[in-house]
Amino acid sequence: MKDVITIDGPSGAGKSTVARLLAAKLGYNYLDTGALYRAVAWKVRDSNIDHDNEDALRDLLKTAEISLEGSTISVNGTDVTTAIRTKEIGELSSQVSAKPIVREFLFAMQREEGIKGKVVVEGRDTGTVIFPESENKFFLDASVDERWARRLKDLKDSDPTLTLDTTVEDLKKRDHRDSTRESAPLKKADDMFYIDSSRLSPEEVVDTIVRHLK
């Protein structure tokens, strides 16, 4: 499987920017799997259920319909593209993504997108669990300080008066939860090409990936 390119890595490593640029350069589709976990988290919060209550979570997933159209993501017909990008939903998505029933629920959807071919998929387990047979797997990393500084810069670029409500400690906590959970933890597999993007621009990362494509 050569035309499914997977990019995994911790939050804030630049996966979305790089995956989007790479997909545009190659004429591929782009699948942001984190958005799917965020959509489930949005539904959990919207339904006001306790995500630690497994029965309630199972019932919620039975009626949850997540659909992707280009960069628009909807849950049961409601466009949640912007609403899922808050700090609160980011936190909650990290918690619900540790639940095996949530991962099972989203597995088939991710596979279906990939089976269509020519797609750049990014997340935490796309090369280990979703597309283990992909021959083009990358692990994108950056130092925690650099990842936090990039978030701050993005925010200041959009509005210089804003301050970041996420701290370096919040980022470390999320990294820890995403990489120590039992179900599909974030990890670099032996067959992934490791890129430390701390001192690279997004374009340089894309060039590095293109050079290593099989």
Q: Amino acid identity, residue 59?
A: D
Among 28, 30, 37, 138, binds ligand DC (CB under 6 A): 37
φ and ψ at 144, to 5 degrees?
A: -65, -35
Q: Is 9 in the site for ligand DC (CB under 6 A)?
A: no
Q: Is 38 in the site for ligand DC (CB under 6 A)?
A: yes
130: left (phi over 0), alpha (psi -120 to 50) or beta: alpha
Output the smallest distance, CB 95 to ligand DC, in A: 8
Tokens 């083009």 belong to residue: 136
What residues does 165 pair with on adjacent strands?
none
Q: Is 114 in the site for ligand DC (CB under 6 A)?
A: no
Number of residues assigned to the chain: 214
Q: Kindly identify the residues of this chain, within the stretch 120-159, that bind ligand DC according to CB under 6 A.
A: 123-126
Among 136, 140, 178, 188, binds ligand DC (CB under 6 A): 178
Output the smallest distance, CB 119 to ligand DC, in A: 14
Which range in 89-97, 132-140, 165-173, 206-214 contacts ligand DC by CB under 6 A? 89-97
d(CA 170, CA 110): 28
Among 7, 43, 73, 94, binds ligand DC (CB under 6 A): 94
Q: Where are the alpha helices (DSSP H) in the chain?
A: 15-26, 33-47, 54-63, 87-96, 100-115, 144-158, 168-180, 202-211
- The residue ranges that bind ligand DC (CB under 6 A) are 11, 33-34, 37-38, 90, 93-94, 97, 123-126, 174, 178
